[in-house]
Structure 1
Amino acid sequence: MKALIVIDFTHDFVDGKLPVGEAAVAIQHTVAELTRRYVEQQDFVVMAVDLHEENEAYHPEAKLFPPHNLRGTEGRNLFGALESAYKENKEQIYWMDKSRYSAFCGTDLDVKLRERGIREISLIGVCTDICVLHTAVDAYNLGYNITVYKDAVASFNAAGHDWALTHFEGTLGARVINSN
C-alpha cells in the first residue's frame, strides 16, 4: 500500500486570500485524477488541509501571510475538480487538518502511515516550495520514499517552484515524475 497526500488544494490557495492563481487552476484536473486513481487502487489518500483561526497573533505565519484557510470559511473548501473527487470518494479519504507548513508537524500523519505499513508516499498540491517542500523534508527525515508529481504541484513563486523540484530529487532523493 502507498499513500497520496494532497496538500492545501483549497480556494484560498488557488484563487482566494493567498492564491497561487493560474498555475494551480491549471493542475486541478490532474490533482483530481490522481486522487481518484489512488482511491481506485485502494491506497491511503490524505487531504492535508491548512486550518487557521481568526486573529492568530502568535502563529508564525501571521507575520508572513494574510489570514487564509480560516475555519468555517469558503476559502477552506477544496477547489474545483478536487472537490468533486473528494465528494465522490469521501469514505475512502482521510481528511486531516494541519496548522503548519508540513503535513507531519503536529498531526497524526506519521502514525496513520506506519499503522498501515506505508513506506512510500506521493505528494501533490500547493505550494511546491512551501507546504509540499516542508512535508517532503519531514517525510525524508522520517525515512519515507517520496514521489512528487511535477504536473500536480504549483506555486505563486515560479523560481521557488523550480528550485523545489530540483531539491526534491537532488537533496531528498525523491522521484519527480509526471502523472501519466
Structure 2
Amino acid sequence: MTKAVLSIDYTKDFVASDGKLTAGQPAQAISETIAAVSQKAWQCGHYVFFMIDEHLEGDIFHPESQLFPPHNIRGTEGRSLYGPSKAFFEAYRDSERVFWMDKHYYSAFAGTMLDIYLRERKVDTLVLTGVLTDICILHTAIDAYQKGYQIEIVTDAVASITEEQHQFALEHMKNVLGAKLYPSTELNF
C-alpha cells in the first residue's frame, strides 16, 4: 500500500487571523498536527502533496468570485503556507516525494495533474489534511472516491469554520464515501 498525504489549502489566507477567508482558531489549532502528519509520511517513504488554491486578481469569471471575497491570489503572501508546514515544505521541496500543485477549484483533482502523479507513483490511499473540511477536503474526497482511491481523514488535521460544518463533512465522508477517520495518535504509515 502506497499512501500520499494531501495537505490542502493550509495557507495564510485560510488560516491566519488576518487571512482574506480565514477559518481562524479552528484552523490554527491544527497547525502542529498537519506538519507532524506530513513529517511522518515522509519518514515512512510516502508522498506529500501540497494542493494550494490559486486565483487571479480581478477574475470575475471564476465561480467562487460570486461566493467569497478574493483570496489566495497569485503572487500574494496569502498563498504562503501557514505554520510549521512552511518549514517542512522548505526542507523537502527538492525531493522526489514532496510536491506543490496549484489548484483552482475546491477539489484537488479538478484541473490538476494530481491523478496522473498519484497513479505514476502507484498511490492507492490518500490521507487528507487541511482546510476546509466541508469544502475543499470534502470535494477532494468525493473525487478521490470516484477515482477509486482509499480515503483516510486525520480528524485532528482538518478544520472548518464551524464545528457543525466540520462534523457534517466528516460524517458524510465516513458514511457515504467509506473514508476511514482517525486521530493523528492512530496514524498508521
SS at match of 1:171: helix
How do residues 1-180 of structure 1 correspond to structure 2 at under 5 angstroms? 1-15=2-16, 16-92=19-95, 93-180=98-185
Count of aligned pairs: 180
Identify unmatched segments of 5+ residues in structure 1: none
Equivalents in 2 of 1:91, 1:123: separation in Å?
22
Identity %: 47
Q: Which amino acid aligns with 1:4?
A: V
Q: Which amino acid aligns with 1:87?
A: E
The runs of 4+ residues in structure 1 deviating greater than 6 Å are none
Deviates more, 1:170-179 or 1:79-88: 79-88
Deviation of 1:158 (Å): 2.1
Deviations 1:67-115 (A, max 9, x none): 0000110100000111111112212311000000000000011101111
RMSD, matched Cα: 0.7
Deviates more, 1:99-108 or 1:80-89: 80-89
Equivalents in 1 of 2:83, 2:179: separation in Å?
28
SS at match of 2:30: helix
TM-score (norm 2): 0.94
